[in-house]
Copies of this chain bind each other. A is one copy, B any other.
Amino acid sequence: MLELRLVQGSLLKKVLESIKDLVNDANFDCSATGFSLQAMDSSHVALVALLLRAEGFEHYRCDRNISMGMNLNNMSKMLKCAGNDDIITIKADDGSDTVTFMFESPTQDKISDFEMKLMDIDSEHLGIPDAEYHAIVRMPSVEFARICKDLSSIGDTVVISVTKEGVKFSTRGDIGSANIVCRQNTTVDKPEEATVIEMNEPVSLTFALRYMNSFTKATPLSNTVTISLSSDLPVVVEYKIAEMGYVRFYLAPKIEEDEDETKPQA
Task: Mark A residues whose CB is within 8 Å of B.
Answer: 71, 74, 77-78, 80-81, 98, 107-117, 143, 150-151, 153-154, 175-183, 185, 188, 195
For residue A225, give the distance in angstroms from its CB to the closest CB of chain B: 15
19 contacts between A and B (CB under 8 A): A74-B176, A77-B153, A77-B175, A80-B153, A81-B150, A108-B183, A109-B182, A109-B185, A110-B143, A111-B181, A112-B150, A112-B178, A112-B179, A113-B178, A114-B176, A114-B178, A115-B177, A115-B178, A117-B176
A103 nearest CB neighbor, chain B only: B180
User: Contact between B178 and A81 (Cβ–Cβ < 8 Å)?
Assistant: yes
User: Contact between A181 and B81 (Cβ–Cβ < 8 Å)?
Assistant: no
For residue A152, give the distance in angstroms from its CB to the closest CB of chain B: 10
A184 nearest CB neighbor, chain B only: B109
User: Contact between A154 and B110 (Cβ–Cβ < 8 Å)?
Assistant: no
A183: chain B residues within 8 A (beta carbon)? 108-111
